[in-house]
Structure 1
Amino acid sequence: MPQDKPLKILLVDDEPLARTRLRELLGDIAIQFASEVVGEAGNGLAALDFLRDHPVDVVLADIRMPGMDGIELAGHLGACEKPPAVIFTTAYDNYAVQAFDLNAVDYLLKPVRTQRLLTALQKVAVAPHPDSAVLAGIGQAVRGGGRTHLSCHERGRLLLVPVAEVLYFKADLKYVTARTAEREYLLDEALTHLESEYADRFMRLHRAVLVARSALAGFEKAAGDDVDAYGWALLRGVPDKLPVSRRQWAPAKAALTG
């Protein structure tokens, strides 16, 4: 990114004092590196909401935040057509910092120092944006669980799908459909990856279907001439029936009664 005009920056941190300090540091290096803070957010969800209408060049994001952390935020941004550069601010130990560094994610250790901030911003022009799949894997290891939201690109907009509201995932060709009680979303995800990431929440019913354990309401055997399924899973809150393979019939029934 050439410095023919100030870089637009979004500060994302749940601590107002941390955001204030970053503002002050950016002011201190204004002569060496021109920038403009165009907004602030207290977590990843608020940041994505801001970015829908306010494009920026750089996001300075804390890692540990309630609602949506910085790693998940960066993953959603990485899936965008023109993502901003992401620089993490973190108090993590050296092992985690090295992992981010190896995956081309720049970072600033708290308390952030002036020269280190300047160096990070100077890398923005040449540093590649982190891969969203890599970030999802790192995030799962760091936070001990999967993402809280999934990305859906619809009519040029980024929509977020809360995983807690998903009743099932169904694979069809290159896309996966996520079904909530209200509607369906098309995701650019792999069913096998979702199964691994959310093993505690979802279980496989069929080679093309994962269901939320909490959504199961019952089962019925398929007709003898039904080639699509050995049986069908009934769900809470929606009329949909999901196919269950012969292999998954017993485990699925056990999950409901257990």
Structure 2
Amino acid sequence: MTHAYILTLSCPDRPGIVHAVSGFLLDRGGNIEEAAQYNDHDTGLFFMRVQFACTQLTYDDLKMQLGFFAEPFQMECRLHALREPMRTVILVSREGHCLNDLLFRWKSGLLRLDVAAIVSNHRDFYQLAASYNVPFHHLPVTAATKAQVEARQLEIIGSERAELVVLARYMQILSDDMCRKLAGRAINIHHSFLPSFKGAKPYYQAHDRGVKLIGATAHYVTADLDEGPIIEQDVARVDHSFAVEDLTAQGRDTESQVLARAVKWHSEHRVLMNGHKTVVFK
């Protein structure tokens, strides 16, 4: 029986890594179907993503043998089985364009996800969730209930075995503790081209500065607001005649597309962390 896997790795750069990885897989009956690598000359680190099929070893056997293989290279590696789509929980507030886009792409087979739940601090999209047969959790947030709500959110994420949490215009700032618990598996969409116009109301800030381009940024969530490692960005051209409402309307499509690409790449294990930056094998 053939099993499909993705191997991602990073380690100090040195000659022969690609040869060693290829040989390791070949010796175990692995057939490489896709491979990409990157040498970061600034940090001296090497990054690689390999998709391969294997008939000889199980996931557990491969993972154990990879541990021995990786040690002399000082290599951090992860093995991902492609048996099932990535379990995902989506958080949203009152702007539903990103949520709607993700759900449509998921049901159309364009995203390798399993959307397990939608969590919101408003009730606006419970009918949309029901139309896709996704459980909807309404958890209103106030300053007094923030800690209890986050505890409940983490409980839902844990019970649904979610590997990915998407903040699809969820307009609440997560606590430092929650950010740490979701490190590397929570993606936010910010409606500006970071590092410009961080924080609240970026379209108002952009309008005040008279920008000629507006953008959107998908990044991993960290305790530093809008400072997480960037996964994807894009821009749209505007001009002096655009009011704030026009900028907002123009930006919705950009936000949806940027977030969808970031979610797709993450779910396909194409994003590797490189300090405060990312390496994305598209």
* Larger Rg over CA atoms: 1
Range into which the TM-score falls when normalised by the shorter chain: under 0.3
Q: Which has the higher contact order (CA 8 A, sep 6+)?
A: 2
Q: TM-score by structure 1 length?
A: 0.28
TM (norm. structure 2) is 0.26
